[in-house]
Amino acid sequence: MERSFNITGACNPQEHYMVNLDSRLAKIKKMVDAGKYFVINRGRQYGKTTTLKALKKYLQDEYIVVNLDFQGLSAADFKAEEAFVKAFARELWMNREVHNFMSDDIQSEIKKMKSSTSYVMADLFMCISEWCMESEHPVVLIIDEVDQASNNQIFLDFLAQLRRYYLNRSDNPTFQSVILAGVHDIRNLRQKIRSDTEHKHNSPWNIASPFDLDMSFSPKDIAGMLQDYENDHHIGMNIAEIAQFIYDYTSGYPVLVTEFCKSMDEFSNWNEHGIIEANKQLLIKKMPLFESLIGKLENNRSLRKLLYGILFKGQKIPYNPDDATIDDAFMYGFVKNEHGLISVANRVFEVRIYNWFISLETTDSQIFAEGVNDKSQFIHGSGLNMDLILEKFILHFNDIYGTQPDKFKEDDGRKLFLLYLRPIINGVGNYYIEAQTRDQRRTDVIVDYLGKQYIIELKIWHGDEYNTQGEKQLSEYLDYYHINKGYLLSFNFNKNKQSGMHTLELNGRTIVEAVV
C-alpha cells in the first residue's frame, strides 16, 4: 500500500508518513513504569490520539492496556452515576483483546454491569480492583477525548474514585497508571462546573503528575519523515532545507507540518516555492483547527485582547502561569513561552489571526477600500511595485487619518498598513511577520508574491539615532535573506514631521524610507 500524509484521525506507519515517535514513547513509558497518573493536554490536532495508539502497542508486552475513547459516550451516559457505570462497563466489554486478561468471574461481572443500571461507582471500582489484584500483568488505563466529559459532576466523581484508589493502592490494587488526554487540563474542570463564586483549583485529580513532554516536531523529526518519503519517491529534495522551512512556518505543530507535506506532495513541488504555495493554500483553508481557533477568539474577549496587544501593538507580555487568559491561550495551543515572553505559537497561526482581526474592519475601513481601488496600479508582470504601494499608503493615511489623535495612529499604524496591503496581494501573495525581529517599536513584514520577497520594516519614529539604527538592522536583515532592496515605513508623530519617501544606499543594499 502506498503511504500518504494523513490529516484526519490517527496515523499509523503502515499507511501514513509520520514522525518517529519512539523517543517520546520511551519517555512516557518511564512515567508509566513509575506508576504515574497524568494528563496529556494539548491543542486540537496536536497528535494526542496518534501518540496514545502508538503507546498502547509500545506498552503491550509488559502491560494490559485498556484504551478508551470518551467520544463513544453520550450526554445521557453522564446524567447519573448508574448510567456512567453501565457505559464504562460497555466500553470495557467492547475492548475484546482485554478479555483474554480477565478471569471468567471478572468478565461475568463486567457483562452484568453493561446491561444494568443498578450498579454504582463503588461497584465498578471494586470489580476493577479485583481484576488488578489477580492480573499477571499491571493494568494501564488510557482515556482519550476526556473533554467530552469535562463539564459534569459524574466525571468528577469518577476522578475522585481514581484518586482514592491511587492513594490506597497498597491495600486496594488498582491501575498501574492512568493517562487522560484532551485539550483541557483536568485542573480546570472544577472551574467549569462550579459557579463563579465557588471557583477553586483543588481538582479531585490533584494526584496527576506534570506532563512536560514536547510533542511538537523538531526539524530533525520532520527530516526523518521526509527521508521516508524520499526513499519511496526519489524526488531529490534537499531534506534538511525543506524540513527547516516547514518548521519555520509551523514551529512543529503536528497537523500543520503534515498539511505542508500533503500540499507539496499533491503538487510535486518540494522546494522553497512549494513551501510558499503550501502556506498560501493553508491560510485560506477551512479546517477544524482554524475553526476552533477563531471560535475561541470570537467567544473570549480577554483572549482576543491578549492576542491583539501582541500582534498589533507589539506588547511584551511576560509569561505568567497564574493568569487565566494566558493559561487558556497556552491550553488551546495559541501561544508559546519565548524567553519569558508570550508570543503566538507559529507563523501560520499568527497570519491567520492577523487576517481575522483585519477582516473585522474591512467593511467599514477606508484604507482597505483604497487598497481595493488601487490594486491594479501595483501589479507589474510577475512582481509588485512596492515603492508605489508605500507612496500611495502615505497619501491615503494622511488624507484619512491626518487629523485624528496621535495615540490612535501609534496603536493602529501597523494594522492600517496591513489593511491596505491585504487586498493588493490577496489571492496571489501572502505576508507574515518576522517573529525574531518584532519588538515594541518595530515589525518586519515579509511579503511573498509569486516567488519574490519584499521586506518592510515598520517602526515608530523615535529620533534620528534610532532611525539610523533601524536602517542598519534592515540592511543586515536584507543580507540574511540575500535581498538587495528593502523598505522602512516609519510612523512619525512629531508635529514638525516631514512625510514622504527617499532612497539611500547602505552596505551595498538599497533602502527605501517612507515616513507617514
pLDDT digits (tens, 9 = 90+) for 64-113: 999 999 888 888 999 999 999 999 999 999 888 888 899 999 999 999 99
Say if residue 303's pLDDT is above 70.
yes
Say if residue 196's pLDDT is above 50.
no
**341-344/335-338 β-pairing:** antiparallel
Is there a contact between 208 and 31 (Cβ–Cβ < 8 Å)?
A: no
> What pLDDT does residue 503 have?
92
Instruction: Please indicate whether residue 189 or residue 431 has the higher confidence score (pLDDT).
Output: 431
> What pLDDT does residue 21 have?
96
Instruction: Report the percent of the chain where pLDDT is more than 90.
Output: 61
Q: What mean pLDDT comes out for the span 128-156?
A: 89
Q: How far apart are the first and last CA of the chain?
A: 59
Compute the Cα dihedral for 380, 386, 391, 392 and give only its sign. Answer: positive
Question: 167-188 pLDDT, tens per residue?
Answer: 999 999 999 999 999 887 765 5
> What pLDDT does residue 439 have?
45
Confidence of residue 438 (pLDDT cuts 50, 70, 90): very low
Distance (Å, whole) CA 87 – CA 78: 9
CA 315 from centre of chain: 20
Say if residue 193's pLDDT is above 60.
no
Q: What mean pLDDT comes out for the span 115-122?
A: 94
Angle value at C-alpha 349, between 345 and 355, nearest 5 degrees = 145
HEC-encoded secondary structure of 53-86: HHHHHHHCCCCEEEEEEHHHCCHHHHCCHHHHHH
Distance (Å, whole) CA 3 – CA 255: 17
> What pLDDT does residue 497 have?
66
Distance (Å, whole) CA 514 – CA 499: 7
SS3 132: helix
Confidence of residue 440 (pLDDT cuts 50, 70, 90): very low
Alpha helices, DSSP H, located in 114-187? 121-134, 153-167
**DSSP character at residue 210:** P
What average pLDDT does the structure give for the chain? 88
Question: 312-350 pLDDT, tens per residue?
Answer: 887 889 999 889 899 989 988 999 998 899 999 999 999
The grid cell for 144 is: 482519550
**DSSP character at residue 515:** E
CA-to-CA separations, 17 to 3, 63, 226, in angstroms, rounded: 6, 28, 8
Task: Find where cell 487586498 sits.
Answer: 423
Is there a contact between 243 and 249 (Cβ–Cβ < 8 Å)?
A: no
**500-506/509-515 β-pairing:** antiparallel
Is there a contact between 405 and 417 (Cβ–Cβ < 8 Å)?
A: no
Highest mean pLDDT among 196-200, 354-358, 360-364, 440-444: 354-358
CA-to-CA separations, 325 to 42, 80, 183, 307, 499, in angstroms, rounded: 16, 33, 15, 10, 40
The grid cell for 422 is: 491585504
Instruction: Give the other-Cβ count within 10 Å of 99's Cβ.
Output: 13
Question: Which residues are registered as beta bridge partners of 487?
Answer: 456, 512
Confidence of residue 6 (pLDDT cuts 50, 70, 90): very high
> What pLDDT does residue 466 have?
64
Return the CATH class of domain 22-198.
Answer: alpha beta
- For residue 180, give the nearest of 70, 333, 328, 95 by alpha carbon: 70
Say if residue 405's pLDDT is above 90.
no
SS3 140: strand
Compute the Cα dihedral for 497, 498, 500, 503 and give only its sign. Answer: negative
CA 166 from centre of chain: 33
Q: Which H helix or E strand runs over 338?
A: strand 335-338
Is there a contact between 435 and 316 (Cβ–Cβ < 8 Å)?
A: no
> What pLDDT does residue 406 have?
57
Confidence of residue 150 (pLDDT cuts 50, 70, 90): low
Confidence of residue 404 (pLDDT cuts 50, 70, 90): low
Instruction: Please indicate whether residue 139 or residue 381 has the higher confidence score (pLDDT).
Output: 139
> What pLDDT does residue 383 have?
86
Distance (Å, whole) CA 11 – CA 31: 23
Question: 12-65 pLDDT, tens per residue?
Answer: 999 999 999 999 999 999 999 999 999 998 988 999 999 999 999 999 999 999
> b vs e for 246-279, b when ≥16 Cβ sit within 10 Å of the residue's Cβ?
bbebbbbbbbbbbbbbbbbbeeebbeeebbbbbb
Instruction: Please indicate whether residue 491 or residue 292 has the higher confidence score (pLDDT).
Output: 292
Distance (Å, whole) CA 104 – CA 183: 37
Query: Which amino acid would we find at residue 308?
Result: Y
Distance (Å, whole) CA 219 – CA 398: 45
The grid cell for 467 is: 532611525
